Each structure stands twice: as C-alpha cells, then as structure tokens.
Amino acid sequence: MNCLDFRRQLNIDPHAADTAFAQHHADCARCAEALERSLRFEGSLRRALQIAVSPQLADSILLAQATREQQQRGVRRRNALLALAAGVVLAIGLGVSLRGASSPIAALAVDHLNKEAFVLAMRQGISDDEVRKAFEQSGLSLANVPAGISFVYCCPVGPYSSVHLVMPTSTGPVTVLYLTTPVVAQRETFSREGWRGVSMPVGQGSLVLLGHDAGQFERVEHLWRSALAAPPDAAPTRS
C-alpha cells in the first residue's frame, strides 16, 4: 500500500484497517499523523451526528402501538358482531330450517331459559293483572289471559324484548317466550340441550315454547294464539 491508497482508505473507512494498512501506518510517519487526524475527525463526526433523543421517545412509540392495537381490536370485534347480526337477519329472512340444527332464536331462547331455570320450579298461580301488566310494559294488550301461569317477567332474549312466562302442565312446566318483534318468519320445531321447542309467528311478534316434553305444546299454543288474537273489540294492539 502506498501513501495515496492509505489516504483514500482514511476517507472511506478509517476503522476498516487491514494488514497492508497497518504496515504502511508503521512505515510512514506522515500517514500515521494523517490517521491520527482522521480518527479525531471521526470522533467529532460521530458526536456531531448524535443529536439529542427525547427520553420519552420509546414510551410514546409503545403507547401509539398499544392504542392502535386497541382500536383495531375494537374494529375486529365490531365487524364480528356485524357479521353475526347479518347472519341472524339472513337466517330469519330466509326462514332457514336445518335438520339436526337449530335456528339462532332457538339458541337464544334455550340460553335464556338455562340462565333462569329456577323459575321452572314456581308452581303457584299469579294474577291476571300481573300478566296483563307485563304485556302492557311491552306495549301489548291481551284479548284474554290463559289460565295456569306461575311466572311472568319482561326479559331481553339476546337483542330482543320478550315477555317470559311459565305454565306448569301435567307433563312438566312449559316456558313461553313472546318476542315482541317478528323474529321468526315461519313455524319451526327444534331440539337443543335436552329441550324441545317450537317457534312461530303470532300476532305482531313471535311465540316460542320450550319444555322437556312437547306433549302440551299444542294446547299452550292454542291458548296464546287466542290471547294474542285480534278480535274486533279487544285487539292485542300496541298501546
């Protein structure tokens, strides 16, 4: 290596010295001085480029990342809910009835029943007024009140408003859910988690019956069709 090569190397990378570079450095006093000057310059260059960095920089990046992640999780959750809701609407709209499977409303009804299974043990009859009041709270009036009701309460079933009733029968209690909106388009029977069920459009809403035994369903359905029917003088209209 000669002096020119040595000086070139100083400007390319003074730290990347090979054997020839080291040998020339040992042999040439002027180039050795040039190396010293170059290394001093490199120190100044390095310090000049080391501008101050905010001590909060890393934390602000991590905060931005956490915030964006949270927002994206929210969007994903909303999209999933929208997809679920769209699926429910589609299934209802098409009147889907699959053998061996149950509709979304069946799942919602059984889920609600399981959560409030304790009311099935109620045997004592309640007054007609209590039943009428529950329907009035939902904006409905009854043509008559079927006999043999042991429980009534206005409950949400999934996203739907409903009147939840229990009617003890000779084959066991029958749960009656009257959804105040037309959730089902046609009659559908189902079996889910040990429960037999039937759902159907009645009046301005949907009637769902659930029990371990379906033997009394026909009678109970008849009672509620009658109660929710719209006779000329006592229509079950929305108040």
- Binding residues (CB under 8 A) for another protein: these are 4, 7-8, 10-13, 16, 41-54, 57-58, 60-62, 64-65, 68-69
Which residue, 56 or 239, is less far from another protein as judged by CB?
Answer: 56
Which residue, 28 or 107, is less far from another protein as judged by CB?
Answer: 28
Go through the chain and tell me how many residues it has.
239
Which residue, 29 or 147, is less far from another protein as judged by CB?
Answer: 29
Q: Rounded to the nearest whole angstrom, what is the least distance from the CB of residue 35 to another protein in the complex? A: 13
| Cβ partners under 8 Å of residue 132, min gap 6 | 141, 142, 145
Residues 165/152, Cβ–Cβ less than 8 Å: yes
For residue 194, the tally of other CB atoms under 10 A from its CB is 8
Gap between the Cα atoms of 213 and 197, Å rounded: 9
Gap between the Cα atoms of 225 and 193, Å rounded: 27
Q: Rounded to the nearest whole angstrom, what is the least distance from the CB of residue 13 to another protein in the complex? A: 7
Rg (CA), the chain: 39
Q: Edge-to-edge strand order for the sheet containing 205-211?
A: 151-157, 160-167, 174-179, 205-211, 195-202, 188-192
Q: Rounded to the nearest whole angstrom, what is the least distance from the CB of residue 25 to another protein in the complex? A: 16
Which residue, 52 or 147, is less far from another protein as judged by CB?
Answer: 52
In this structure, what are the phi and psi dihedrals at residue 214, rounded to the nearest 5 degrees? -95, 5
- What angle do helix axes 29-49 and 19-27 make, rounded to 10 degrees? 120
Element at 186 (helix H, strand E): none
Q: Rounded to the nearest whole angstrom, what is the least distance from the CB of residue 41 to another protein in the complex? A: 6
Which residue, 21 or 195, is less far from another protein as judged by CB?
Answer: 21
Element at 167 (helix H, strand E): strand 160-167
Q: Rounded to the nearest whole angstrom, what is the least distance from the CB of residue 28 to another protein in the complex? A: 15
Which residue, 20 or 235, is less far from another protein as judged by CB?
Answer: 20
Q: Rounded to the nearest whole angstrom, what is the least distance from the CB of residue 64 to another protein in the complex? A: 5
Q: Rounded to the nearest whole angstrom, what is the least distance from the CB of residue 75 to another protein in the complex? A: 14
Which residue, 68 or 77, is less far from another protein as judged by CB?
Answer: 68
Supply 118's token pair: 């304790």
